Amino acid sequence: MAHPESHFRRIVSEHWRFGVGVLLAALVLLELMLRLFVMPTYPPVELGFDHDDRNCARPVPGSAKVWRPHGLLGKPVVHRVNNLGIRDDVPDLSADLRVAVLGGAGVYGVGLKTTDTLPAALEKIFAARYPDRRIRFDNFGFSGFDLEEQIRELSRLEPIFRPDIVLVALDNESFKPPLCSRRALPVRNVVNDNLALARLIERHLMPVDLVPGNALARHATAAELRRLVTALDRIHVGTLVFAALDDLPDVADGKGRMVMTIDVIKEAGQQMVIPGPGDTCELEDTTTDRTATGDASTKNVLSQVACGIEPFIDGLINDD
């Protein structure tokens, strides 16, 4: 009687090519389904690389790219970048008061029309509240930029726009590894941009520390956040306001998430809105899940941001 192990080895040796073929066919079919119906095309905007620039990966000025958030057969969205390297048409620089909004995907508005982004929605709110004044909200956000990269964008754009208020939208993206380190690896870019399976594995299955580019990540310590807040204060001599768009990541030295962020920002003498229960702008019906994407949660966040910055806008207008 043949030994079971020997019988198994014989089957494997005779049919391994068939098994490999079936596995490859299944992977190709899965890749095709993901690309057609599920995974967004990538990257969402045209990216250029300049290794002499500390923000080595950034949007290509004057570019436009068709982005599909739900696969190649999904509804397309056009993301345009103007000749200043920020979203859409070159803004009108004449206004009674300017607010620059700094942030990542939540500010840039990946998948949204320009008129539906956070800065545009805030502009509509304050246009209704101050109909006789021109208040502009400029979108300085870009998907993927961490807080330090966002600060460098502010340094580049501040002399052009000269905003009266800088609104810094903090979220999980603020403390991720820099986009430069994640997008400056050619092999990874080719694989991720062209294989939905690879992007799915890296995003959802691979341990964070093994993701290419994450070796350069900094811990979101209180000292690191304090350094970044100080850098912002040096660049912008006017009003700085910080807003939390969703739960913040744990920091490496003690208190976690929102509590540490609030403490550091208040110690620096800056303003923080949407910190949670107890704040004067906290609404009774506000959801505690700041990562929710429903309309109610979005409206609550928008209302809180508007509530938090209105005293500063009102003060500047009344000082004129």
Which pLDDT score is estimated for 222? Answer: 81
Query: From the CB of residue 254, how many other CB atoms can be counted at a distance below 10 Å?
Result: 11
Identify the bridge partners of residue 165 per DSSP, sorted by sequence position: 99, 239
Which pLDDT score is estimated for 62? Answer: 94
Which pLDDT score is estimated for 93? Answer: 78
> Strand, coil or helix: what is 155?
helix
Which pLDDT score is estimated for 80? Answer: 93
Instruction: Note down pLDDT in tens along the chain; length 320 residues.
Output: 556 667 677 777 877 888 899 999 999 999 999 999 999 999 999 999 888 899 999 999 999 999 999 999 999 999 999 999 999 877 777 889 999 999 999 899 998 888 889 999 999 999 999 999 999 999 999 999 999 999 999 999 999 999 999 999 988 788 888 898 888 888 888 998 999 999 999 888 888 777 877 765 555 678 888 889 999 999 998 899 998 876 565 554 445 556 778 888 888 888 777 644 444 454 333 333 333 334 555 667 788 888 889 999 999 988 76
| Residue 304 · residue 274 · CB < 8 Å | yes
Domain definitions of the chain by residue range: 82-176+217-319
Which pLDDT score is estimated for 303? Answer: 83
Helices and strands (H and E) in the chain: how many = 10, 9
| Interatomic CA distance for residues 211 and 219, integer angstroms | 16
Which pLDDT score is estimated for 220? Answer: 65
Say if residue 91 is preceded by a cis peptide, omega within 30 of 0. Answer: no
CATH 1.20.120.80 for domain 82-176+217-319: no
